[in-house]
Structures are given as structure tokens and as C-alpha cells.
Amino acid sequence: MKRIFFCFLVAALVSGIIACATPGRLSFIPGTYRGTALGYGAGLTVEVSVDSGRILEVRVVEHTETIDLPLVALAFERIPQAIVSGQTLAVDRVAGATFTSFAITQAATDALMQSGVNMTALQQQRRARGAARRANVNITTDVVVIGAGGAGLSAAMSARQNGARVIVLEKMPMAGGNTVLVGESFNSVNPELQSQHPMNPAHHAAIQALINAPPYSAFETELQETVRGQLADHVAQNRPGLFDSVEWHMLQTYVGGDRVGKPEFIRIMAEEVVNTRHWMTENGMQWSTDPNIHIRIFTVAGGLWPRANRPAMPLGTGFIDMGVRYIQRHSDQITLKLDTRATELIVQGGRVTGVRATGPNTNYTITATRGVILATGGFGANREMRERYNKHWPSLLHAHTTNHPGAVGDGIVMAERVGANLIDMEWIQLLHAGDPRTGTLTGVLSADPAEHLMVNNNGYRFVDENARRDDMVSALLQQPDSMMWMVVDSRVFPDPHNTRTVFGATVMELIEADRAYSAATIEELAVMMGVPPENLRRSVDEFNAGVAAGVDRFGRRAWRDRIDQPPFYASLRVPTIHHTMGGVQIDTQTRVINTQGQVIPGLFAAGEVAGGLHGANRLGGNALADIHVFGRIAGASAAGNR
């Protein structure tokens, strides 16, 4: 089940792309040639088959690229296809996977140089294609959605269900944005699953800490009182399993965001997310049916409570699959335009009436009779914006990011140009568990902090592994080289060849790619990690003592099991930029607010592009809740805005 999405792409890679192109004036010595190039991982090898007049097939036969990243997988599909169909080496890179695209093209070049073909002629095909004229196209629809991540697709579905014709613009070659890369964690109270999840003293302690904290506002007092009463009922009535409630979700979100998030948005997210989850299910979303309850409802790192609902498909692919399939089923009313970048909002008489966009060979002017929805995501991949707004971290100029390359704040810039107010822009979220080479989360050994140990480069523990994300990153930044190791044992990978991380890899694949180490003893593992064995031994012993005691010196209270079942595994992790909490100011109907505090008619925003919900720190698992709840509201608001 885990890899269905990628299998399609990998199948294209393995079977290769068979020629159906018209022969040009090229001349080859027929045969199959091999070429190599340096990829993002290590070497990459391509085989190219030719007959006397054309390129028949291009196949990547060996590589160590991160195929579990969708855009990399897309490069494996598109670049060979483009070389064959265009009979050229001058193919466009896949945005978001430029390095891999370049490596495949280079290896194909290397192969074709052995075929006796005139390489200049292969490049000349480019000029003929490049000469194509750009068309100017005017379109009128009811609602334009900019961005096909989770917020945009939900907005499109909801706008259509509220009677609108919709055009979705997506600048990248595929739908997905950051949403497709998320770690399978959709926060929503779910009594059916949570009643089967055990509740232990650590859970009680976490609730007591928040309901007895000095309240900061009337909102917090109200939530504390409600949760106190609900918990008393839960205990008095001997209800099975884990306590949870909409108000407890709200209280954790509010306090977890340092009370910066706006109560009205927190309330809407927590109240609406349960209905929205059902709405998504009705519209094709599939959730995990794993018999292990800890898989289906879990605490994602920085999520602080077991309320992360896990989808059936890997990463965020299930959310995107739901939206794209919905659009396919309703293609008479919703059009998705890929590779089409919105560049400007059109304003007439103080109202946003449309969008200008550039697509393949086409300039669009699109009139939106009811509204334009910004669902363009955040700016985590925009160095300049990060540097401009960051106030709370050391310089982030050279930091890695988990974000897809399109997360550069286009929507924020477009909205600002038409007078939108921006809020909470200085709050930028980092994660502690990025890949040291790419910053992505792929290669992480465990997404559930209840089951892993973290040590620094000296083998010492340094933080509660279940803490808030900002607290873990702050602690990590104090460690030597700001690096850490995540350590687990064989309980996390009962079958090292088949048990997969949430990012789709087996631990054996990670070890083969030098992204993880494995050893039969803690001491041997320490040697491989380059940390003093006695220090790692002490940290593991301390961890295991914490499991027995229930709490440790860092205040950690959530434990799954001891770490004592060989083989042991470790992978190196670094801080990485993950989410931008700030953005365009909206009201509770997702209408964009200008710098004078007034609604900008015709303009709506939802998802990471909007600020105000998460405050100073977003809880893990709340992004998927946010984007679907507010995306759905935005679709309805815009459709009803006649």
C-alpha cells in the first residue's frame, strides 16, 4: 500500500520510455549506449537505445537519488520522455528537481556521444521548439484558486460544491506543494480511535500542567474550565482509553503557540476539523486501517497529543490524490492548470476581479466573477524573505529547508501589492530532524517521538524528545555543530527489509544509501557514529531508566519501549526550516484584510499563505487540519461571494 504512488513513477523508470517520435535528420550508429553523470546522491547511469535515425529509449539503470521525493520521481519520468519525444538533449528541467534532471540529461549526453550522432544537431531541436509564439488567452470563471496544495484543492472542491466553476492554477509541474511532503499526521479529535488508545500518567500530567497554568486571557480561562470538567467526567464515568476534546485541542494549540495565535481561528480549526475529516472521507480520502492503534492515531513530533490521524497513502500523497481525483471527476466544472504561475492580481474599482498568469506558451488573463483564493503556501524556501522577517533565530540564510522549491511566498507578495496586511511574519518554524545533505525529512528513522532517543555528537542527550518543536530546535542549536543522532532499536524496524518509515524507505535502503547506521551493540553503533561509546551507552541506559520511572531529568514523560533489542540504528539529523506561521491577514470567512483593517473585496486566502492561527509555534499535525478546514471555508466563501 505504502508505495503505490511512487510505484507508478518507478514503473515508468524501469520500463523506460519507448519512442513514438517522428524521425528527424539525425544519424546514429544503432545500438545501446551507457552514460554516467554525478547525481544529487552519487553516480547515475543511463542507457540510451538508438536506431540509425532516432533515439528509441532512455532508461535510468542505476542511481542513488531520493526517488521518494515526488518531484525527483517526476524528473525520472519526464526527462527520458522529453529526450525521446523531442529527439533532443535540450530538455526543460523539472522544477524542484533541477539537479537530478541535469544529471539524467548529462548521462544521456555521455551515452549519445558514443553513438556517432552530431551533438550540435541534437541541441538544435531546442531552437525550433523555443521559437513557438506565446498566445494571449482570456478566460472567465467564477472562482480562481492559486495553488494546488492541500488548501487549494480543498478550496476548489468546496467552491464547486457551492455552485462555482473553478480554475486552479499551479506553477509547478505537479499538484502537491508542501502538502505532499508532510508526515502523515492530520490532527483531529477522533473518539472512535482514541477510545482504543491507552491513557497513562504522562497524559494526565500534561493536562494538569495546562489546566493549572496561570491563564493569560479569558479564552484560556474558559478552555481550562471546560477541559477540567470534561476530564473529571472522563474519569468519573470510567470512559475507555485516551481523553481528548475540541477544547483540549484548542488549549494545546493556543498555549503551544505561546498564546500568539488568534482564538477565533483556533476555535474554528478545532471545531471544524472533525466535520472536515468526515467531508474529506466522503470525497475520497482514505485513512489507515492498520490493526495497530498506535499507527492509526499517534503523536507526531511536536504534536504533543495522540490525535494525529494517519492516511492510508504515504506522506501527503493521499490528500493530494483526493483533490486531484475529485477534479478529474468534475472536470466539467474544475480545471487544473499545471506549470501555470499566477503573477498578478487584477484589481478593478477596489475589488480583486481576476488574475494574470503565465503557462506553457500562453499568457492568461482570467476573470473571476466571484473571487480569487490565494492558496500559495508559505515562504520557507525563500532565503531573502526568511532573512527579512526572521527575528527569533540566528540567520537562516544558509539553513536547509523541508519545503518544496515553490514555497517562496508568491501569494504573500501578490497580496501585499494590492494592500493586504501581513501578520506574524517573524514566526518561522524549524524542525530538529532534517537530512544533513538536503534538509528534507526523508531518512528520518521515526516520526513518533515516543519511540526514539536523540543524542548530540558527543553521545549525550540534550532535550525531551517529545517537547515542542521550537524547544527541541533551540536545544539542538546549542549542541556541537548543531547536529544530533536519532537512535532506535529493532522494535521500530521489525523487518528491516520491509518495514518502512513514514517517508517510505526501509532501514536497509537508508543504510545502503549511507543515510543510517546499524550495529549489533550500542557500543559498535557509537563507533560508526563517531561518538564516544561510553557516552552513548550511558544515554541509552538513562533512556531505559526513564521508561521504567515514567519521567526523566528533561521532563520527558512519553515512552513506548526500552531501547535494548538489537540491531540498533542511528541517523544524523540537523535543524531545517519547515513552516512559516505568518502570512496574509484574513477574517474568519478567509476574506483578506488590508492594512486599514478592511476586507479586500474578491480576495480570499487559506493555508500556509495566511497568518494568525498557529502563533509562535505550530503544533505538529495542525497544518493538515488548518489547510483543509480553512481551504474548505475559503471555497464556500468565494463561491457565495456573488
Q: Contact positions toward ligand ADP, by CB under 6 A?
A: 146-152, 169-172, 176-179, 341-342, 375-377, 406-407, 410-411, 607-609, 627
Question: Which letter, b or e, does each residue of 455-484 get, where b requires 16 or more Cβ atoms within 10 Å of its Cβ?
Answer: bbbebbbbbbbbbbbbebbbbbeebeebeb
Query: CA 359 to CA 210: how far, in whole Å?
Result: 50
- Minimum distance from CB of 440 to ligand ADP (Å)? 14
Which regions of 99-248 does DSSP assign to beta strands (E)? 135-146, 166-169, 186-187
Nearer to ligand ADP, 310 or 556 (CB): 310
Ordered DSSP codes for 320-375: HHHHHHHHHHTTTTEEEETT-EEEEEEEETTEEEEEEEEETTEEEEEEEEEEEEE-
Catalytic one of 165, 469, 573, 618? 469
Name the grid cell of 556: 520527558
H/E stretch holding 577:
strand 568-580
Helix (H) or strand (E) holding 579: strand 568-580
Would you state the torsion angle of the CA atoms of residues 468, 470, 471, 475, taken in this order, to the nearest 10 degrees? 140
415 and 592 Cβ atoms separated by less than 8 Å: yes
C-alpha cell at 279: 467531508
Nearest-angstrom CA–CA distance, 393 and 286: 38
* Comparison of 147 and 256: residue with beta carbon closer to ligand ADP: 147
Nearer to ligand ADP, 310 or 628 (CB): 628
Closest contact distance (angstroms) between CB of 211 and ligand ADP is 31
- CA 417 to CA 345: how far, in whole Å? 8
Cβ(127)–Cβ(355) below 8 Å:
no
Instruction: Write the burial class of residue 317 (CB in 10 Å: 0-12 exposed, 13-18 middle, 19+ buried).
Output: buried
Q: How far apart are CA 305 and CA 210, in angstroms?
A: 13
Closest CA to 590 of 348, 409, 371: 371
User: Which of 147/504 has CB closer to ligand ADP?
Assistant: 147
Amino acid at 339: D
Nearer to ligand ADP, 16 or 607 (CB): 607
Which C-beta is closer to ligand ADP: that of 375 or that of 425?
375
* Shortest Å, Cβ 283 to ligand ADP: 16
Minimum separation from the CB atom of position 391 to ligand ADP (A): 23
Nearest CB to ligand ADP, comparing residues 80 and 177 = 177
Beta strands in 43-94 (DSSP E): 43-50, 55-62
Least distance CB 502 / ligand ADP (angstroms) = 17
Q: Helix, strand, coil: what percent of the chain each, to 5?
A: 35, 20, 40
Q: Check if the beta carbon of residue 402 is closer than 8 Å to that of residue 441.
A: yes
In the complex with ligand ADP, which residue's Cβ is closer, 257 or 411? Answer: 411
CB-closest chain residue to ligand ADP: 149
Active site includes 351? no
Nearer to ligand ADP, 96 or 546 (CB): 96
- Which residue, 112 or 627, is less far from ligand ADP as judged by CB? 627
What is the per-residue burial (b if ≥16 Cβ within 10 Å, else e) of 517-556? bbbeebebbbeebebbbebbbbbbeebbebeeeeebebeb
State yes or no: cis peptide before 567, omega within 30 of 0.
Answer: yes
**Cα distance between residue 194 and residue 18, in whole Å:** 50
Closest to 590 (Cα-Cα) out of 151, 256, 277: 151
Asked if residues 549 and 559 have their Cβ atoms less than 8 Å apart, the reply is no
Catalytic site positions = 469
